[in-house]
């Protein structure tokens, strides 16, 4: 339930603020929708009258997550997800800002649709929602959208969702216009001709299952092309979903060359690999496909080093009719808003990744890249933050998840850690009592 906006003191907390590389014990005072202080020793005596004092008992307090890639069905596909249901799932997962994708019906490719999304989300969502707009009209890869008008209407970046712009001239123009309007171009790097009819990672495991594979070259070939175009135009570029070690080498060379490029990896690709598909589990059919374990480890190391800037949910709800099919025929996609952080904590508990690099990739960096407030606990910043118990064990029950669709790759998985409270704009929008 949405609470009132009276002041809140989160006392006796472990404060982790990746924007300052801060990990300390202290208190966080929230008033008038902003963070007043986050430091040691505020104490209940020094807070405004009527403040709600919450004893965190050493639990983690961190900035709310900014999910840079999530599909929400409105407009046109509300049966899969609505802003209301997506925001409920987001709040339960510690996500205080959703960045929704433009592959709706109609596509988010004109200012009127951007305005509709913003108004609809404002009326029905309990977390912040910002749309990315399409790079090309109708996501067809042929004619560029009006980047300046769409940005003025409220689009925070530009992408053709899970479609690649194969026409290099169109992508060059998009990067050029993006440069002129200081707009971020977010591109899905998969050459559709190399993908062909592939449905999982190309290799021995795919052969054993009798499934057609997708080579990692499908990703790296497109990424290499894009790096050349970024060098040509000077545009701002973000690789939407990096999955393999070869792509990391391409990114490193581009960053070393001083190009303005950044990249995301999905929570699925940093916590799962192709072997998790097991006996044709369609809930693990995603695009790009899950790769081999060495690729997963390389991605985690890249997140730790900052080479991969962002970890996102790639939330893509699919109903039972499109998932309960033979693997090759099932629709790709997995829900992830509610489990992104908790799945990421697996990496923390295993020692593969520190809590600060994880939270930086899920909150601070996406907020910075998109020019959004949040991702920090600095004084004066928006009071979008979460309280997390890092140790509580639980088992993922799809029937208890708040998304309209239940296609989670973590079905019945054992997890350690859970979001206890989510605060957006100074109001508690989710709480486990």
Instruction: Assign 229 to helix, strand or coil.
Output: helix
The closest of 204, 241, 199 to 222, measured between CA atoms, is 241
pLDDT-derived band of residue 4, with 50, 70 and 90 as boundaries?
A: low
- Contact status, residue 69 vs residue 36, Cβ threshold 8 Å: no
Give the pLDDT score at 1: 40
Which is nearest to 342 in space by CA: 385, 309, 318, 313? 313
Examine the pLDDT at 123 and tell me if it is beyond 80. yes
As annotated, the residues of the chain forming the CATH 3.20.20.140 domain(s) are 65-370
Q: pLDDT by residue (tens digit) across 47-72?
A: 888 899 999 999 999 999 999 999 99
* Nearest residue to 161 via CA among 248, 224, 72: 72
Residue 65: its pLDDT value, please?
98
**How many angstroms separate the CA atoms of 95 and 112, rounded?**
26
Residues with Cβ within 8 Å of 359's Cβ and at least 6 positions away in sequence, in order, are 16, 18, 62, 63, 65
Tell me which residue has tokens 């808003």.
Answer: 337
Q: Which of 162, 164, 190 is nearest to 312 (CA)?
A: 162
Q: What is the pLDDT of residue 42?
A: 83
* H/E run at residue 131: strand 128-131
Is residue 428 over pLDDT 60? yes
| CATH dotted code for 65-370 | 3.20.20.140
Q: How confident is the model at residue 254 (pLDDT cuts 50, 70, 90)?
A: very high
CATH topology of domain 8-61+383-398+412-431: Urease, subunit C; domain 1 (2.30.40)
pLDDT surpasses 70 at 350: yes
Position 47 scores a pLDDT of 83
Q: What is the mean pLDDT of the chain?
A: 96
The active-site residue, picked from 314, 389, 391, 411, is: 314
Question: For the chain, where do the domains classified as CATH 2.30.40.10 start and end?
Answer: 8-61+383-398+412-431
Please determine, for residue 100, whether its predicted confidence score (pLDDT) is greater than 60: yes
Write down the pTM of the prediction. Answer: 0.96
Give the DSSP letter string of 14-78.
EEEEGGGTEEEEEEEEEETTEEEEEETT--GGGS-TTPEEEE-TT-EEEEPEEEEEE---TTT-T
d(CA 391, CA 375): 23
Active site residue 314: yes
């Amino acid at each position: 339930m949405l609470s009132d906006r009276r002041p809140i003191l989160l006392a006796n907390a472990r404060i982790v603020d990746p924007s300052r590389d801060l990990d300390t014990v202290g208190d966080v005072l929230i008033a008038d929708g902003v963070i007043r202080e986050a430091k040691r020793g505020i104490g209940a005596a020094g807070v405004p009258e009527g403040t709600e004092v919450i004893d965190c008992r050493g639990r983690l307090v961190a900035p709310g997550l900014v999910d840079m890639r999530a599909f929400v069905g409105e407009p046109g596909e509300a049966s899969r997800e609505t802003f209301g249901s997506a925001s409920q799932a987001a709040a339960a997962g510690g996500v205080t800002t959703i960045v929704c994708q433009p592959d709706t019906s109609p596509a988010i490719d004109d200012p009127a649709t951007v305005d509709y999304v913003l108004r609809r989300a404002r009326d029905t969502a309990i977390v912040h929602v910002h749309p990315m707009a399409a790079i090309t009209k109708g996501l067809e890869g042929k004619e560029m959208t009006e980047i300046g008008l769409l940005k003025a209407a409220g689009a925070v970046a530009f992408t053709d969702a899970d479609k690649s712009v194969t026409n290099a001239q169109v992508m060059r123009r998009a990067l050029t216009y993006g440069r002129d309007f200081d707009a971020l171009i977010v591109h899905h790097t998969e050459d559709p001709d190399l993908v062909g009819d592939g449905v999982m990672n190309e290799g021995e495991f795919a052969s054993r299952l009798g499934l057609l594979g997708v080579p990692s070259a499908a990703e790296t070939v497109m990424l290499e092309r894009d790096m050349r175009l970024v060098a040509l135009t000077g545009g701002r570029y973000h690789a939407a979903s990096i999955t393999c070690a070869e792509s990391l080498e391409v990114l490193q060379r581009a960053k070393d060359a001083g190009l303005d490029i950044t990249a995301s990896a999905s929570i699925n690709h940093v916590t799962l690999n192709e072997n998790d598909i097991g006996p044709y589990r369609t809930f693990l059919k995603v695009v790009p496909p899950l790769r081999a374990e060495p690729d997963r480890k390389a991605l985690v190391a890249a997140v730790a080093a900052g080479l991969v800037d962002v970890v996102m949910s790639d939330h893509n709800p699919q109903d039972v009719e499109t998932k309960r099919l033979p693997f090759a025929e099932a629709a790709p996609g997995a829900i992830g808003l509610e489990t992104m952080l908790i799945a990421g904590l697996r990496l923390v508990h295993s020692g593969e990744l520190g809590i600060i690099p994880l939270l930086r990739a899920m909150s601070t960096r996406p907020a910075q890249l998109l020019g959004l407030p949040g991702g920090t606990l600095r004084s004066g910043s928006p009071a979008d933050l979460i309280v997390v118990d890092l140790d509580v064990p639980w088992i993922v029950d799809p029937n208890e998840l708040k998304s309209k669709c239940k296609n989670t790759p973590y079905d019945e998985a054992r997890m350690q850690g859970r979001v206890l409270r989510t605060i957006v704009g100074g109001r508690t929008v989710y709480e486990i009592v």
